[in-house]
């Protein structure tokens, strides 16, 4: 019997590829265009397809490739895969929910720190006017606030939400959260000297989190409707900061821009967008929004962890 063939169509870390090859799998890393994918899979007898966000695995592809045994998503969200249909056809679907948590959480704090110190605006204006209007710019950015002592509301308390909580506690913030599993959660913080401290957090109703929080960060899968729209923003504190590094469409961007313009929302940080990959110009140009192009899990360390986690799951599933 020949080697099981794997196509990592959106790439895989070297460590993950090596682990699979050591176990006797043959790994292809050719980037195949979506319209040519079915032909390539069939021509090369691919049984395992690995994707990130770029490749779509829907009913048409699954029907065209009956020999597929497993679909692996290098990351958390699986909106680009028809998971139910795949399982109905007997195709396993796996993802890597833990490997990117640290990377996403750190990006959340990059956006938070950017927003409270006006860096998204300063980084635009300093190259243009830093040599001629230094004093005026210094004065305009002097009203910054600190994160320590403030309340961070986390909506969605899975692996990433809990990692965000660890960073928030470490920086001296109070953490409240809302989740569809509102039970008490124990969050462990591990330190460089080997110490570990445990903190118990209990979920709260959404309205309570909206009303209490100085900053709100979203960590949710794709939704049919907005989780945060105009009515939810109305319940928030004036000057609140909102971060979305989860999925476009959970936050109403029209309502957000309106609230930014009115001052109800002090700033926003967006890594994901409703109309991704072509975000709205009014969002991209807004001086109160810190922006990144859906790179939450895109660190060297996270991609290596993702590759290893994916490889181990494939080995366990197919052996």
Q: Which residue has the higher pLDDT, 78 or 273?
A: 273
11-68 pLDDT, tens digit each: 999 999 999 999 999 999 999 999 999 999 999 999 999 998 889 999 999 999 999 9
Q: Would you state the pLDDT for residue 259?
A: 98
Q: Would you state the pLDDT for residue 2?
A: 67
CB within 8 Å of 315: residues ≥ 6 apart:
19, 20, 23
How far is it, in rounded angstroms, from Cα 129 to Cα 136? 10
Is it true that 5-97+300-318 and 101-291 share their CATH fold?
A: yes
Under DSSP, is residue 87 helix (H, G, I), strand (E, B) or coil?
A: helix
**Could you give the C-alpha distances from 123 to 4, 116, 117, 224, 228, in angstroms and in order?**
50, 14, 11, 35, 28
How far is it, in rounded angstroms, from Cα 23 to Cα 176? 44
Mean pLDDT in the chain? 95
108-158 pLDDT, tens digit each: 999 999 999 999 999 999 999 999 999 999 999 999 999 999 999 999 999
Tokens 């060297």: give the residue: 300
How far is it, in rounded angstroms, from Cα 268 to Cα 291? 9
Set 106, 133, 294, 304: catalytic member: 294
CATH superfamily of 5-97+300-318: NAD(P)-binding Rossmann-like Domain (3.40.50.720)
Q: Would you state the pLDDT for residue 76?
A: 82
Domain edges within the chain: 5-97+300-318, 101-291
180-219 pLDDT, tens digit each: 988 899 999 999 999 999 999 999 999 999 999 999 999 9
Q: Topology of 101-291 in CATH?
A: Rossmann fold (3.40.50)
**Helix orientation angle between 300-318 and 14-22, rounded to the nearest 10 degrees:** 20
Set 247, 274, 286, 305: catalytic member: 247
Q: Exposure pattern of 233-258 as b/e (b: 16+ CB <10 Å)?
A: beebbeebbbbbbbbbbbbbbebbbe
Set 26, 276, 280, 304: catalytic member: 276
Query: Is 276 an active-site residue?
Result: yes
């Amino acid at each position: 019997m020949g080697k099981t063939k794997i196509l990592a169509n959106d790439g895989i870390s070297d460590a993950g590829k090596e682990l699979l090859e050591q176990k006797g799998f043959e790994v292809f890393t050719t980037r195949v265009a979506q319209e040519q994918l079915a032909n390539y899979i069939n021509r090369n007898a691919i049984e395992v397809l690995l994707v990130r966000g770029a490749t779509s695995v829907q009913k048409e592809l699954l029907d065209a490739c009956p020999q597929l045994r497993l679909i692996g998503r290098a990351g958390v969200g699986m909106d680009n895969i028809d998971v139910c249909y795949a399982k109905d056809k007997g195709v396993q679907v796996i993802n890597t929910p833990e490997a990117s948590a640290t990377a996403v959480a750190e990006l959340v704090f990059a956006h938070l720190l950017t927003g409270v110190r006006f860096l998204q605006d300063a980084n635009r204006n300093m190259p243009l006017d830093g040599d001629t209007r230094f004093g005026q710019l210094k004065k305009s950015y002097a009203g910054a606030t600190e994160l320590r002592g403030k309340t961070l509301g986390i909506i969605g308390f899975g692996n990433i939400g809990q990692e965000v909580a660890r960073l928030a506690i470490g920086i001296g913030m109070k953490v409240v959260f809302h989740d569809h599993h509102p039970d008490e959660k124990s969050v462990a913080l591990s330190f460089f000297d080997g110490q570990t401290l445990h903190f118990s957090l209990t979920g709260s109703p959404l309205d309570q989190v909206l009303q209490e929080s100085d900053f709100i960060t979203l960590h949710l899968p794709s939704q049919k409707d907005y989780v945060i729209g105009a009515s939810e923003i109305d319940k928030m504190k004036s000057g609140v900061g909102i971060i979305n590094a989860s999925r476009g469409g959970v936050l109403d961007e029209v309502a957000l821009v309106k609230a930014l313009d009115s001052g109800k929302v002090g700033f926003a940080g967006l890594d994901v967008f409703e109309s991704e990959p072509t975000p709205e110009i009014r969002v991209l140009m807004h001086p109160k929004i810190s922006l990144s192009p859906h790179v939450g899990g895109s660190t060297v360390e996270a991609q290596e962890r993702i590759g290893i986690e994916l490889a181990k799951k494939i080995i366990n599933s197919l052996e």
